Each structure stands twice: as C-alpha cells, then as structure tokens.
C-alpha cells in the first residue's frame, strides 16, 4: 500500500509517517521514491499510534517494538510492556484525578459567579 493510502486508512499525515520512518520505527519497502507499506509495517504503525494515544513516548514505543522476535517467545517484550504499561496507567490515573479535581473547582467557581451575576441583575 502506498504512503497516501496508509495515511488515509490510519488517519495520520504523510509527514507523521515519514517522521516514524526517520526515527526507525517503521521501514516501508521502496521502489524508487515510492514507499510501499506491507501488512507488517501497517501493524507496526497501528502499534505506534496506540502507544502514542496511551501516552508512551516514541522512544518507549521503539524500545518495546525493538524487543519483538518474530521467531521467539517475546517474553522480554511482554515483560517490558507490562512494566511500562503499569507505570503509564498509574500516571494516567493520577492525571484523571487531577483533572477531576480541577473540574470540580472550576464548577464551584462558575456556580459562585452565576450566583453573583444573578444577584447583580436582580438589584439593577
């Protein structure tokens, strides 16, 4: 599949695909200047995008993907993924708690502002 088709299918920019290639995360086959992505490359791109969505850095994604052994057990890869994933989950849960607290504070502030405005309107 050509780069434009892959970009459309995955909802990413051509620039992002080229960037991932420059970083060594994916290696499409080339015919002249045309990049051709096979199923394996597209799977790697989907994994990259999943990693980014859950907050992994590209360096972490590359580290995990580089541990993959097509003819091996992948124990190390799975162990590293479990460790990094557990840490990232804890970070995301803390961020969610922080966001929930910020939302609560903002809601209280806006309620106070509305009450003040309602009082000001009725006094005018």
Cα gap 20→61, rounded to integer Å: 11
Q: What is the pLDDT of residues 3-36, one digit of tens each?
A: 999 999 999 999 999 999 999 999 999 999 999 9
Q: What is the pLDDT of residues 95-124, one digit of tens each?
A: 999 999 999 999 999 999 999 999 888 776
For residue 69, pLDDT over 90 is answered with no
Q: What percent of the chain has pLDDT over 90?
A: 88
Beta bridge partners of 34: 31
Beta strands in the chain (DSSP E): 29-31, 34-36
pLDDT of residue 101: 99
Could you state, in order of their start, the residue ranges of all structural domains in the chain? 1-55, 67-116
Half-sphere CA count of 124, side-chain side, radius 13 A: 6
What average pLDDT score do residues 53-59 get?
95
Looking at the whole model, is its pTM more than 0.75? yes
Q: Which CATH number fits domain 1-55: 3.40.630.10, 3.40.50.300, 2.60.120.200, 1.10.1660.10?
A: 1.10.1660.10
For residue 72, pLDDT over 90 is answered with no
DSSP 8-state assignment for residue 24:
T
The two three-digit tokens of residue 97, written as one number: 């708690």
Cα gap 15→66, rounded to integer Å: 22
CA neighbor of 30 nearest in space, from 8, 10, 2: 2
Torsion (CA) 46, 47, 51, 52 in degrees, nearest 10: -30
Cα gap 124→120, rounded to integer Å: 6
């Amino acid at each position: 599949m050509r780069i434009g088709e892959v970009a459309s299918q995955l909802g990413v920019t051509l620039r992002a695909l080229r960037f991932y290639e420059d970083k060594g995360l994916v290696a499409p086959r080339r015919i002249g200047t045309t990049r051709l992505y096979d199923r394996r490359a597209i799977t790697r791109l989907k994994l990259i995008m999943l990693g980014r969505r859950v907050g992994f850095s590209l360096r972490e994604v590359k580290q995990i993907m580089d541990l993959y052994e097509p003819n091996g057990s992948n124990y190390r890869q799975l162990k590293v993924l479990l460790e990094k994933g557990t840490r990232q989950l804890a970070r995301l849960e803390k961020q969610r708690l922080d966001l929930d607290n910020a939302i609560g504070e903002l809601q209280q502030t806006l309620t106070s502002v509305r009450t003040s405005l309602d009082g000001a309107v009725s006094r005018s």
